[in-house]
A = this chain, B = another copy of it.
Amino acid sequence: MIHAYAFKVRLHDVDSAGVMFFARLFSHAHDAYEDYMAKQGMELGTLIEGGTRLPIVHAEADYLHPLRHGEDMTVELTVERLGNTAFTIGYAFRNNDEIRAWAKTVHVFLDPSTQLPAPLPEAIRERLTPLCPDTGETAYC
């Protein structure tokens, strides 16, 4: 399964070169992730209030073609890796058939009491499993 999230490139996304400022891509990626989790019934705000932390320990992006002001973008979300304590979300930024950028974020689950990495709670794992490649049926991918 792939989750698709739509947004439009806004004036405050672009810089004086007329293209999206590179750091803004990561904000939109995170919006797509929040949107997916919320649609799975798991609001990030509720998680944070409840003391659950899934901090990002790594992020990266490849910029293939500029994203321009006013363009309609689709972000396609997949789970690239669902491990024991960490998971990786992949993002493809498309404008129609053209991929403009790739991004990924690696999240780790911290035990609320120790703040150390700990096995992902089942409730989170089962929300992410549908985005695993192929079968979407494995608890790890």
Contact = CB atoms under 8 A, between A and B. Distances in A.
Contacts of A57: 62-64
State the number of copies, please. 4
A116 interface: no
Interface string A9-28: 01110111111011110110
B58 A17 contact: no
A45 interface: yes
Interface of A: 8, 10-12, 14-19, 21-24, 26-27, 30-31, 34-35, 38, 43-46, 48-49, 53, 55-64, 66, 68-70, 105
Contact of A24 (B22, B23, B58, B69): B23
A31 B16 contact: no
Interface centre among A15, A56, A66, A105 (most CB of B within 10 A): A15
Contacts of A34: 8, 10-11, 70
Contacts of A12: 15, 21, 23-24, 27, 30
